[in-house]
Amino acid sequence: MIPSRIQKNLDEVRRRIAAAAQRAGRSPEDVRLIAVTKTVGIEEARILHDLGVEDLGENRVHIAREKIDALPDTVRWHMIGNCQRRKARDTVQLFDVVDAVDRLPLAEALEQRCQEQDKVLQVLLEVNVYGEQAKHGFAPDEVAPALDRIQRFERLDVQGLMTMAPFVDDPETVRPVFGRLRELAKGLGLPEVSMGMTNDFEVAIEEGATQVRIGTALFA
């Protein structure tokens, strides 16, 4: 992919992030862009980093490893997909943040591997706000007890909550999902609210997202 095209796409995404933040009376600097690089190669990921994107997201350990080894240590790598317990050791070794801790057994496995590797890992708890059977995550009423349990761990640093809204043609219809996650995080005293992707990130920002995960809009 031509670097100038990625630059143009990134400029447009940043413009849209800034506009959404301003509509909500927020600073664009309050919204972290996580570029989802799972569908592109090392060179595209490197271009984004050279353009100032510090956070990159991958969802498969074996594919991410090559990119992580190739890019500078200044990249902050996010595991954005469903994290398997049997790959907890590699996940802890490779990633800086696990964005989707969706169950207590996974949290326990990550804690154990962090102990072994003498590492503190930042995590977000995934919440299935909409109650979709196909989606992972804690139900809203499960979040507080799960957080209480995980905050007792020595090696997991819970930064906030994340969710994936249903994919719909009109993002306005999922605005209540984003609002619910914001309120859950606020009630629990958690600073990070990760929600919104290419099709709905502007609404998510208007509803309080502090992190958005964008891939398609950067590489289309």
Tell me the pLDDT tens digit for each residue of 48-71: 999 999 999 999 999 999 999 999
Count other C-beta atoms under 10 Å from residue 22's C-beta. Answer: 12
pLDDT at position 131 is 77
Q: Given a cut of 70, is residue 15 above it in pLDDT?
A: yes
Q: Which residues contact 30 (CB under 8 A, 6 or more apart)?
A: 21, 210
Distance of CA 45 to the CA centre of its chain: 16
Give the range among 69-78, 138-147, 162-171, 201-210 with minimum mean pLDDT: 162-171
Region of 110 (left: φ > 0; alpha: ψ -120 to 50; beta: rest) is alpha
Q: Given a cut of 80, is residue 135 above it in pLDDT?
A: no
**What is the chain's mean pLDDT, rounded?**
96
In tens, the pLDDT along 64-112 reads 999 999 999 999 999 999 999 999 999 999 999 999 999 999 999 999 9
Q: Given a cut of 90, is residue 204 above it in pLDDT?
A: yes
Domains with residue ranges and CATH for the chain: 3-219 (3.20.20.10)
Share of the chain above pLDDT 70, in %: 99
The radius of gyration of the chain from alpha carbons, rounded to an integer in Å, stands at 17
Q: Given a cut of 70, is residue 1 above it in pLDDT?
A: no
Candidates 104, 48, 54; CA nearest to 77 is 54
**Prediction pTM value:** 0.95
Please report the sign of the dihedral spanned by the C-alpha atoms of residue 133, residue 137, residue 139, residue 145: positive
Candidates 219, 142, 151, 158; CA nearest to 191 is 158
Region of 34 (left: φ > 0; alpha: ψ -120 to 50; beta: rest) is beta
Q: Which residues contact 152 (CB under 8 A, 6 or more apart)?
A: none
pLDDT at position 205 is 98
